[in-house]
Amino acid sequence: MTVEAMAEVLAMAAHRDDVEQTCGGTLLRMKALGYRTAILDMTQGEAGTRGSAAEREAEAKAAAAILGVSWREALDIPDGRVENSYENRLKIVEVLRRVRPRVVVLPYWTGRHPDHYTTATLGYEACFLAGLTKVDTGLPPHRPFKILYASLYADVRPSFVVDITAHIEDRHRALMAYASQYANQAQGSGLFVPEEEIRERTFATARHYGLLAGVRYAEPFVQKEVGLVDDIAMLGVASI
């Protein structure tokens, strides 16, 4: 049985708006390069301080349109209770075998929110499980070739950064599509960054990572394996 891939790049995250924060610019760049992109959110967002699951679903659709992704879904894993269970792994396996991505982007594996770092482990183990022939979901096995970790909020040196300079404005628009989360309001005012500061903060962070590679704006990623270079004369970023 042969199944055609729905997207070459699949970004997974715990909550609707996590992808927009950490790798939205990269999805825009990959789309511009001709790749199909997709997003899988683990939860519906029902436990968030701000907004309802229904509001965040509508906002996620608007953001997906801005990012130009070809597919986006949210699983029914309880918000605030993302657990690395076999049942949850199988939910992701089914998606991986439908979407059949070559590249999967996961959250970095440490962080403040348990849902985030648990999604990193859950996603990795699901990628492995998805390649096992005897795990029957009704679709052929598929194991992604590359797993990357979006490390924007991690205090680590990235393996590489992606130049998102041409896409920084659309990246910001996709994030601000989540009005329930980022518009000024009394609910959660002590926890959330004021709306008027979001642009400055997110652009400054992207500028920092851009400076590391000699571009204006960038997003950072970590890979666990050693990279392979075919032509050292074509390596980017000047040493001196």
Beta sheet of 37-41, edge-to-edge order? 71-74, 37-41, 9-13, 103-107, 146-150, 218-222, 160-163
Instruction: Tell whether the model's pLDDT for residue 189 goes beyond 80.
Output: no
Distance of alpha carbon 157 from alpha carbon 53, whole angstroms: 34
Instruction: Tell whether the model's pLDDT for residue 84 goes beyond 80.
Output: yes
Distance of alpha carbon 191 from alpha carbon 187, whole angstroms: 9
- 230 is a domain residue: yes
- 71 is a domain residue: yes
Instruction: Tell whether the model's pLDDT for residue 122 goes beyond 80.
Output: yes
The structure tokens listed for 1 are 């049985």
- 3 is a domain residue: no
- 99 is a domain residue: yes
* pTM of structure: 0.93
Task: State the CATH number of the domain containing residue 171.
Answer: 3.40.50.10320
Instruction: Tell whether the model's pLDDT for residue 188 goes beyond 90.
Output: no
The residue range of the domain holding 59 is 9-234
- 56 is a domain residue: yes
- Strands (E) in the chain, as ranges, are 9-13, 37-41, 71-74, 103-107, 146-150, 160-163, 218-222
- 239 is a domain residue: no
- 2 is a domain residue: no
Residue pLDDT, tens place only, 191-231: 667 778 999 999 999 999 999 999 999 999 999 999 999 99
- 90 is a domain residue: yes
Quote the percentage of the chain above a pLDDT of 70.
92
Number of domains in the chain: 1
